[in-house]
Amino acid sequence: MNPSTKIVQRKEQNMKVIDIVNWENTTLLAGKDACEKTISGAYSSDLLSDVMGNADENMLWITIQTHKNVAAIASLKELSCVVIANNNIASAELIEAAESEGIPIISTSMSAFEFGGRLYQVLHS
Amino acid sequence: MELKYKIQGGNFNRAGYASSEVKKVLKQLNVDPKIIKRIVVALYEGEVNIVAHAFNGLATVTIDAEKIKIVLKDSGPGIPDVEKAMELGFTTASPAVREMGFGAGMGLPNMKKNSDFMEILSTVNVGTEVVLMNYFSK
């Protein structure tokens, strides 16, 4: 095999949850076995019906909501993972539900705006 | 096939249970994933409405070869003005419910958008019955 093929730049189509976990200022809180999931895009909202109505499969969800229903929505919508912005603390019930549903929950010190901006650059560069 | 799910008013921890179970059944029946997605959104919003507003309720789901019919019946305060309740952004949810990110006045519009048929029958101080239907073929 051509050695140059080993150097693979991750493109939009194959960005994975683990790539986000490996960023500085992010911490994985739950769902470590589901980090190979692909991220197709992202949706940023704290209104749950907005996410239910408008987010799509395999999207990363940026929010400051920390209760258990976040896991239910991520699971029903088959989102790739949830990023809790601004160091908001995920509830124990959310962590437990996310573990059993296999949904990665990632905490970040970045605001939703900063995180979203950075992710947008990576996905659309 | 008929499935029934009890929904307890005020218990947000269980919101989404019926949607999750119905999703599994529809997947097993090989229903088009796009149609499953719409049904799941509509049913989830219906569950949350009962949890947020009513005392208790029951979701009765009937599935045949061509469609799914969901009847969400609750005992609760009822809806005084259904037309107003259907307006995007109108809500009567409590501040606590709104703080959780629910009660943005998007639930009923989401249900309407994600169903092929929707009907609301409500009596103030008695309860509300919402009928949803989705067809499996386009």
Give pLDDT tens digits for B14-57. Answer: 999 999 999 999 999 999 999 999 999 999 999 999 999 999 99
Instruction: Assess contact for B26 and A62: CB atoms under 8 A.
Output: no
Decide if A8 is inside a domain. no
Q: Which residues of A touch B106 (CB under 8 A)?
A: 47, 49-50, 53
Using CB atoms within 10 Å of the CB of residue A107, give its burial: 0 to 12 exposed, 13 to 18 middle, 19+ buried: buried
**Which structural domain, as residue segments, surrounds residue A110?**
17-124
**Predicted complex ipTM exceeds 0.85:** yes
Residue-wise pLDDT for B70-91, tens only, equals 999 999 999 999 999 999 999 9
Cross-strand pairs, A59: A41
Q: Does B113 touch chain A (CB under 8 A)?
A: yes
Confidence at residue B82, expressed as pLDDT on a 0 to 100 scale: 96
**Which structural domain, as residue segments, surrounds residue B8?**
2-135
Indicate the number of domains in chain B. 1
The side-by-side arrangement of strands in the sheet containing A59-63 is A26-30, A105-108, A81-84, A59-63, A41-44
Instruction: Give the CATH number for residue B6.
Output: 3.30.565.10
Decide if A120 is inside a domain. yes
Residue B88 to residue B130: CA distance in whole angstroms? 17
Angle at B129 between CA B135 and CA A78, to 5 degrees: 50
Q: Which residues of B touch A92 (CB under 8 A)?
A: none
Alpha-carbon dihedral sign for residues B51, B54, B57, B62: negative
Instruction: Give the CATH number for residue A36.
Output: 3.40.1390.20
Size of interface A-B (CB pairs under 8 A): 60
C-alpha atoms less than 13 angstroms from C-alpha of A90 in its C-beta half-sphere: 28
Q: Which residues of B touch A76 (CB under 8 A)?
A: 16, 19-20, 23, 40-41, 44
pLDDT higher than 50, residue A8 = no
Could you say which of B13, B15, B107 has the minimum Cβ distance to residue A93? B13
Q: Predicted confidence band at A1 (pLDDT cuts at 50, 70, 90)?
A: very low
Decide if A58 is inside a domain. yes
Confidence at residue A13, expressed as pLDDT on a 0 to 100 scale: 57
Q: Predicted confidence band at A5 (pLDDT cuts at 50, 70, 90)?
A: very low
Residue-wise pLDDT for A18-44, tens only, equals 999 999 999 999 999 999 999 999 999
Indicate the number of domains in chain A. 1
Decide if A56 is inside a domain. yes
Q: Give Cα B7 to chain centroid, integer Å.
A: 11
Per DSSP, the three-state class of A91 is coil
